[in-house]
Each structure stands twice: as structure tokens, then as C-alpha cells.
Chain A
């Protein structure tokens, strides 16, 4: 066995650069970074499994409008397009913050995180605005099973974004106070994965809830 050719490294999920632990049990346990990131990766996947239940409920109840408003009447695709753009761009800037953090550039990291947060706030504002308008128009979650499942699914994603924004603010403060310590780096990595996961869930939402809801 020639070492150089066969050694493969478990890579921390979400991490851009290659990793730190030789796999296959060689060289002892994996690094804390790999363990933390892998654990968080498992959490994210289970979170997506939870989302799948909401998606399944919505798919089944999409036509159960009880004579009330349908998606075609309620959804404003221009607003959804702006929301999508906000979240996609924020995912991009979040990735940039990870690169800057890898390069230990505090200012760039903070700037990228700040822009990520701004885009997230914009997304959340648009979503709240949509919810408020729908409820004011009598299309609240009590109106029909379709709207119950809509508010449950999209609201659950919105709640994730809100929590993500809180986390983001906390990370910026921690980075400011503590600098690039190993634990801060790990948390930043986990936050990155969380934020990218939110965008992935949003891709499914804007497609299956909004676009299919309007197209059907």
C-alpha cells in the first residue's frame, strides 16, 4: 500500500477545502471539526425529513380549498421571484463569508455576513407582508385545508430563516469579540450549512408551492 495514493480524508460537509483527518480508522479519531460538522449535517438532513412531512401534507391538500381562494388567485409571482433572488444571493454571500473566514479576513467575513443578514431580513419582510395581506383578505390559515398547509409549510421555513438571522447576528458578535478561534470557525461552518439548507428548502417551496400552485 503506497500511502500517497490510497489515503482518503473524510471531509467535513459543507467545507470547501479538504480536510484534516485520515479516514478508515487510520490515525485515530476524526477531528472535532469533522465530528461537529458531520453531526450538524445529520441534523440538517433530519430537518429536511421533517419538512418533507409538511410538503407531503401540502401536496395532498393543495386542491382542498373549500370553495375559498386558490393559489392562482393568491400568489404574487413577482414577490416570490424577489424573495427567491434575496435568498439565492444571500446563500452566495454566505458562501463568500465562509471563504473569507477560511482566509482569516475579519472585515470581509463580517461584511459578507452582514449582506447575508440584510438579504435574509428583506426576504423575511416580504414573506411577513405576504402573510399579513393574505390574512387581511380573509385567506388566513383557518380558511381552508389548503391555506392551513400553506401557512404551516411556508411559515415553518420562515421560522427557520428567523432563527438563522438570530444565529447570524450572534456569530457576527462572537467573531467580533473572540476572533477566529477554532470553535468560532466550527460554528461559522455550521451556520453556513444551515443557511444553504434554507435556500435548498426554499427552492422546493417556490417550485412546488408557488409555481406548481399557479400552474395547476
Chain B
């Protein structure tokens, strides 16, 4: 063993107890100073590129990453004194291994998540399978969440020519307020016809009643007339059935005529009007007559119902639902949309509900309980 070797081993015996080398102090400080200046330069460049349009926009993140890697290199070289010299080979190897793991973790995550995002179905379809599964297990309830109400389209329920417009852009409307009336001659005709049929049935009933009274008076003296009384009694009960049916027909026709009135489904402000008086509109068209911005006191239930139960839900109907966080309370709203979700045996259900006490908050889970079907 040479003397040089001996000297080194002597150093090995006293760790950290290096001889002070006063003249090296300034040299060492120079190294740190150089590192500081280089780092500051790279940092300044990075901040400069962020706030300027010197670089093509999409390339800025790449440029920033390059500057960051450069600065990390400066830190390693000037602050941590990592070198490529043989005496530092273990340190460099450990760092290289760490860098490999970091690259695998970050690169792998980005790669996987990028492809997962590409293959992810839209939100509506994502929630659908869960409801399908719930439906397969016998649950017939529509489940969903409460959302802040967004502008709601108001469509005509029957087709026809718009006779009058009662709401315009900017007008404040209350729930149920008349916004437009649609001229539906066939519906009005149906009402008139039903009215005529009812009147005829009532008239027949009155005639038969009078005839029956006369026949009964005669039958009191002549027992042979009893057969006539029985015949008239039967005719009268048949008249009554006819009158009841005519009344029901009339009610239905009137309800259909009522649908010719377009009313606001909720309190709010009319945002847009897409219709002029005299214009022909189709029933439940994709082009709504009005766009209504609901008041803050209105919320939307958006959820999914199993296909079998969705058949019982129709736009425009009232529905009662419960909110998970508000036990013991029920809320009523109006269905504004029922739409089958493509590729799943479920339908999206949207309900507009007044929320005057602001009890329902966006994000709460809610359920529409369906009457159990067989």
C-alpha cells in the first residue's frame, strides 16, 4: 500500500473531521453563488414566459418544464454537489433510480388517465347502469339529485296556431300564469260536440222520465200497462249511462282544450320568446315557445328511472318526491322531461319543483317513489 493510500485511510477513520481549508471557503461560496445566479435566471425566465406571448401558447408548459428540469439540475450540481465523477457514482445511481420511479409514476398516471377519459361515457350514460341494476333488483324508484334550476324550455302541449301571446322577454311570471294560447279548432270542436252529445242525452233522459211518470200513472189503473213501465225504466237507466259517458267525454275534451293554454311551469323570468301570434306550432316540439329562467326558489330534480317505471311518468304531470337529507318531508314538482337514455333500460327524468323555504340544496339526493307495478 502506498503512502497516499494510507493517508486516505486515515481520513476514513475520522468522518466529518476534515481539515479546515480557509482559502477554500471563498471558492465554495463561489459555487453556491453561481448556483444561485443560474437558478434565479431560470426562475425569472419561467415567470417571464408565463406572462408573455413570446412563445406559442401550447408550447409554454413544455418550455416551463424544460426550465424546471434545468433548474433542478443546477440545484443538484451546485447545491447538492452531485457530479458524474466516480466518487459520486452511488449517489448518482440512487438518483437515477428515483428519477425512473418518478417518471413511471407521473407518466403512467397521465397515460392511463388520458385513455380512461377518452373511453369514459358521458355523465348521463354513466349514471344509467346503476339505475338499471337497481331496476333489475326490483326497485321501481327514480333516484337522482337536486340541482340549481337552469333555464327551462316551455313547449306547447298541443299543436295548432298561436292565437295570443301573454308573456314577453323580461316579464316576471308566476307558476301557472298564462303565457300563450294556442288555437286548436279540433279541440274546441270536440268540446262543442261533446256538449251537444251531453245535451241530447239529457234531453232523451227528460223525455223518458216524463213518459215513465205518465206510464206509472196509467199503470195504477190498468195493470196491463206494467210492461210499458218496465221498458221505460230500462230505457231511462240506459239514458243515464249515456249521459254520464257524455259528461266524461266533455270533461276530457275540456282538459285537452286547457292544454292549449301554455302556462309557466314555475316562478321566474322569461328569457326568450321564439314564437309570434299566428304562427303554427307542433306539440312538445324541440323548439320551445319560451325559455324561462326559474327563480332562486326553484330547484330541479334530475335523475333516472327504470324503463318499466318511466312509462308511468309523463312530462307536464305532477309528481311527489322525497329528499334523503330531509326525512319526513315530501315535495311536489312538475315533470318537465322524460327521455329514454340510449343503450340503457332507463329514462332520464327532470322535475321542476318550488323550493320556497330553500330547504332543498343542490347536491342532495332525492327519490321519486313509484306506485309498485305488477
Contacts and interface: CB of A to CB of B under 8 A. Distances in A.
B118 interface: no
B101 A49 contact: yes
Contacts of A85: 40, 43
Interface stretch (A116-124, A125-133, A202-210): A202-210
Interface in B59-116: 60-61, 64-65, 67-68, 71-72, 75-76, 79-83, 85-91, 94-95, 97-98, 101-102, 105-106, 108-110, 113
A111 interface: no
Contacts of A95: 32, 35, 79
A55 interface: yes
Contact of B75 (A19, A189, A203): A203
Main secondary structure of the interface of A (DSSP, over half): helix
Contacts, number: 205
Nearest to B101: A49
Contacts of A33: 15-16
A34 interface: yes
A186 B16 CA distance: 7
**Most chain B CB within a 10 A radius of its CB, from A41, A92, A104:** A92
A60 B81 contact: no
Contact of B32 (A21, A23, A96, A200): A96
Interface stretch (B3-11, B206-214, B263-271, B290-298): B3-11
A39 to B, nearest CB: 10
Give me the 3 closest cross-chain CB pairs, A-B, nearest first: A45-B98, A33-B15, A56-B109
A48 to B, nearest CB: 6
B87 A10 contact: yes
Nearest to B82: A13
24 contacts: A3-B1, A4-B2, A10-B90, A14-B80, A16-B31, A27-B9, A31-B12, A31-B15, A38-B94, A45-B94, A49-B102, A52-B105, A53-B105, A56-B109, A57-B109, A95-B79, A99-B28, A99-B29, A103-B25, A182-B17, A207-B64, A207-B67, A211-B50, A216-B61
Given A52-B105, A182-B17, A215-B57, 14 more contacts: A10-B87, A11-B91, A19-B87, A20-B14, A45-B95, A52-B106, A88-B40, A91-B75, A200-B72, A203-B43, A203-B75, A211-B46, A211-B47, A212-B65
Contacts of B89: 10
A33 B105 CA distance: 32
B10 to A, nearest CB: 9
Given A52-B101, A77-B51, A91-B79, A212 B64 contact: yes
A173 interface: no
A137 interface: no
* B interface bracket (residues with beta carbon within 8 Å of A): 35 or more
B81 A203 contact: no
B20 A103 contact: yes
A162 interface: no
B91 A96 contact: no
Given A27-B9, A81-B47, A212-B61, A196 B80 contact: yes
Nearest to A36: B15
A90 to B, nearest CB: 11
Contacts of B43: 81, 84-85, 88, 203, 206
Interface in A6-27: 7-11, 13-23, 26-27
Interface of B: 1-2, 4-5, 8-9, 11-18, 20-22, 24-25, 28-29, 31-33, 35-36, 39-40, 43, 46-47, 49-51, 57, 60-61, 64-65, 67-68, 71-72, 75-76, 79-83, 85-91, 94-95, 97-98, 101-102, 105-106, 108-110, 113
A196 B14 CA distance: 26
A170 interface: no
A139 interface: no
A106 interface: no
Contact of A102 (B9, B28, B32, B68): B28
B16 A185 contact: yes
Main secondary structure of the interface of B (DSSP, over half): helix
Nearest to B76: A200
Interface string A171-199: 00000000000100110010001001101
A156 interface: no
Contact of A193 (B17, B71, B80, B83): B80
Nearest to A32: B15
**Most chain A CB within a 10 A radius of its CB, from B24, B40, B46, B57:** B46
B5 A3 contact: yes
A207 B39 contact: no
A53 B47 CA distance: 25
Nearest to B109: A56
A167 to B, nearest CB: 17
B279 to A, nearest CB: 36
A135 interface: no
Contacts of B50: 77, 211, 214-215
A41 B106 contact: no
A107 interface: no
Contacts of A56: 105-106, 108-110
Contacts of A19: 11, 87
B11 to A, nearest CB: 4
B35 A92 contact: yes
Contact of B97 (A45, A52, A81, A200): A45
Nearest to A211: B50
Given A22-B9, A33-B16, A45-B98, A99 B86 contact: no
